[in-house]
Amino acid sequence: MLTNVWRKSTLSDKESKQANNRQAKEHLSDFTTTPRMLLIALIALCIGVISTFVALLLLKLIGLCTNLFFYLRWNTEIANPAGSPFGLFIIFVPIIGGLIVGLMARYGSSKIRGHGIPEAIESILINGSKVEPKVALLKPISAAISIGSGGPFGAEGPIIMTGGAIGSFIAQFFHFSSSERKTLLVAGAAAGMSATFSAPVAAVLLAVELMLFEWKPRSLIPVALASCTAGILRHYLIGAGPIFPVPAHAAFLDPIGFGGCILLGLLAGLASTVMTLLVYGFEDAFGRLPIHWMWWPAIGGLGIGIGGLIYPRALGVGYDVIGQLLAGDISLQLILGVLLVKVFIWSFSLGSGTSGGVLAPLLMIGCALGAALSHVFPNEGVGFWALIGMGAMLAATMRVPFTSMVFALELTHDFNSFLPLLLGTLAAYSVSVLLMKRSILTEKISRRGYHLSREYATDPLEILFVREVMRTSVVAIPASITRDELHHLLHDGQAPRGIQHLYPIVGEQNNLEGVATRQDLLHLVRDEPDKRQLADFIKASPVVAYEDESLRNVVYRMAETGYTRLPVLKEGRADELAGIVSLQDLLKARSRNLTEERQRERVLHMRLLFPKRARELTKDEAS
């Protein structure tokens, strides 16, 4: 007999069992934020200060390298390579710069190759947001050499990577989780971009759309604080914005003007697709060369040098060219030089794996595209179409429409162009996502064997509760059961949905006393009488779920404990059993999500609008 064996053996553990059943549950709220966020925010503020000085240092370093490479003088102000006195010998300058970058990548760190943002994303997704300290040192130096020797890149990508490396480096001195390190890495990246372009809001949006992979206060607030800190300090260290001021345009356009914004966005999306294919086409071509990748940046430098001979203003960061296009100085030579020479040397050298950013070249190319179309589009003011093209090109290539729109506004302070920019960026974004599976940033990650989804949505496990998927028709075993009764129950008394693998052990008031697996109970009834007792197979302090819990909490609990079936307790009724939830039941949430995505149905019918006509049709069909 097994009568009362269970109850006698576990009476002394009653208090500990009840305490376990009342384990802390995550209270349902809009956000999962704790006071620990304040500590992360404080450290992010410090990272914002450091990243601002790093951005200033990198800008000065780019200016110094440009002056040394093209003018053989010691000066930290940004210079235009087009005025170099070297003449035909200018072709060798980018080659020398590429050779130095290749050597630094080979013998320093290969992570300095590329334009920075994919490398930051890869560190977040794959490496636990841990960046090697030497990357924080070598990345800005290699970028300054690459850009200073004529590379058609911007400083923002290296600054984003460097700021992120600093944030990660500081976080590694603390006892932080991978998510907290990610927040500080992105805080450093956003601060670097904010300091470079005086665009703190766009920097935060870029972090959300591209690097955080979440929209949560625990990460958004520290990142925004770091970006704001950098934006404030920039005013004193580098200067106030906007970087590319333009005269205010009309507050509203006519339908033809809005149509032009959409058309320009569509063309920018097509151009972005071609440019992305060019970059990775050149990368594939370099990959087939029978030489080590260390030499590729030097070959890329040769392409830059040839382009510099054809159109010298295509060299370097080109901030002056962007300002000229936005100011309405749009000669045919400038437009062709940017759209043909700049596009070629940028895609060719970027495909070679050298170090440099993509934001500034995209801004310049987008401005040139808009400026070219301004000759056929209606006149909406000086630099208007260049501004729309700038935002649209950025949105299509990097697939960050809101960042692109706000970025263009912060660079120019022309807030009257808010609606036209929204139309242009969304049109370009639509073309890009329809024509290309991956962007210029995520394609590089994909080629390294990883997949990155850029779609963010509410997890179905967040909005469904245990009570909606749990099984209530379950067999519970009384604690006072006899061996014969247990034998009969296991062989004849099954749950309506098939074999039950986990059995709750309940008391007289249906209160949960423990759980036992079917396999263990079968062993019990097969043993000799009185050799083994029911208590030997009972887990007296089971891990449980509650009716009012979200499925997300239950999934986490299963992942932490390794259990795939949990007894469910009724909320507010001590230990009263309500049912069982299993991993299979949790799949119902996923199934519901698939149904919402794939099942199409007509909810309203035309007969609601034309009831008389519907009755006539019904009579005709009946006859």
State the SS3 of 29-61.
CCCCCCCHHHHHHHHHHHHHHHHHHHHHHHHHH
Dihedrals φ, ψ of 203, to 5°? -65, -40
Q: Are 440 and 279 in contact (CB under 8 A)?
A: yes
pLDDT at 610 over 80: no
Average pLDDT over residues 187-215: 89
Most confident of 82-96, 391-405, 593-607: 391-405
- Reported as a single tens digit per residue, the pLDDT across 21-64 is 444 455 667 777 888 999 999 999 999 999 999 889 988 999 99
Distance set, CA 462 to CA 165, 216, 548, 599 (Å): 33, 14, 12, 21
Spatial neighbors of 162 by CB under 8 A, at least 6 apart, are: 51, 54, 58, 116, 136, 139, 140, 188, 192
- Distance, in Å, from the CA atom of 151 to the CA atom of 441, rounded to the nearest integer, reads 19
What pLDDT score does 457 carry? Answer: 74
What pLDDT score does 406 carry? Answer: 95
- Reported as a single tens digit per residue, the pLDDT across 435-485 is 988 888 888 777 777 777 777 777 778 888 888 889 888 888 887 777 777
The DSSP H or E segment spanning 242 is: none
Mean model confidence pLDDT for the chain = 84
What pLDDT score does 3 carry? Answer: 42
The number of C-alpha atoms within 13 Å of 78 and in the hemisphere containing its C-beta is 15
Q: Are 461 and 550 in contact (CB under 8 A)?
A: yes
| DSSP character at residue 564 | S
Average pLDDT over residues 307-316: 90
- Reported as a single tens digit per residue, the pLDDT across 501-528 is 888 888 877 888 888 888 878 877 776 5
Bridge partners for 559 per DSSP: none
Q: Are 318 and 364 in contact (CB under 8 A)?
A: yes
- Reported as a single tens digit per residue, the pLDDT across 382-414 is 889 999 999 999 999 999 999 999 999 999 999
Bridge partners for 581 per DSSP: 566
What pLDDT score does 4 carry? Answer: 41
> Under DSSP, is residue 145 helix (H, G, I), strand (E, B) or coil?
helix
- Reported as a single tens digit per residue, the pLDDT across 112-133 is 887 767 777 777 777 777 777 7
pLDDT at 552 over 60: yes
Handedness of CA 165, 170, 176, 179 (dihedral sign): negative
Least confident of 2-6, 237-241, 499-503: 2-6
What pLDDT score does 52 carry? Answer: 92
- Distance, in Å, from the CA atom of 292 to the CA atom of 296, rounded to the nearest integer, reads 7
What pLDDT score does 164 carry? Answer: 84
Least confident of 21-35, 169-183, 367-381, 582-596: 21-35
pLDDT at 100 over 50: yes
Average pLDDT over residues 579-584: 89
| DSSP character at residue 514 | E
**Dihedral of the alpha carbons of 458, 463, 466, 469, in degrees to the nearest 10:** -80
Is the previous residue joined to 242 through a cis bond, with omega within 30 degrees of 0? yes
What pLDDT score does 342 carry? Answer: 92
Average pLDDT over residues 536-563: 85
What pLDDT score does 9 carry? Answer: 40
Q: What share of the chain is helix, strand, coil (3-state, %, to 5)?
A: 65, 5, 30
Q: 162 falls in which pLDDT band (50, 70, 90)?
A: confident
Q: Give me the percent of the chain exceeding a pLDDT of 70.
A: 89
| DSSP character at residue 569 | E
Average pLDDT over residues 91-95: 93
Q: Which of 243, 232, 221 is nearest to 31 (CA)?
A: 221
> Under DSSP, is residue 498 helix (H, G, I), strand (E, B) or coil?
strand
pLDDT at 617 over 80: no
Average pLDDT over residues 75-85: 86
What pLDDT score does 573 carry? Answer: 67
Three-state SS letters, 268-328:
HHHHHHHHHHHHHHHHHHHHCCCCCHHHHHHHHHHHHHHHHHHCHHHCCCCHHHHHHHHCC
Q: Which of 419, 358, 440, 425 is nearest to 193 (CA)?
A: 358
Spatial neighbors of 216 by CB under 8 A, at least 6 apart, are: 31, 32, 33
pLDDT at 185 over 80: yes
> Under DSSP, is residue 507 helix (H, G, I), strand (E, B) or coil?
coil
What pLDDT score does 172 carry? Answer: 86
pLDDT at 537 over 70: no
- Reported as a single tens digit per residue, the pLDDT across 249-296 is 887 888 999 999 999 999 999 999 999 999 999 999 999 999 999 999
pLDDT at 371 over 80: yes
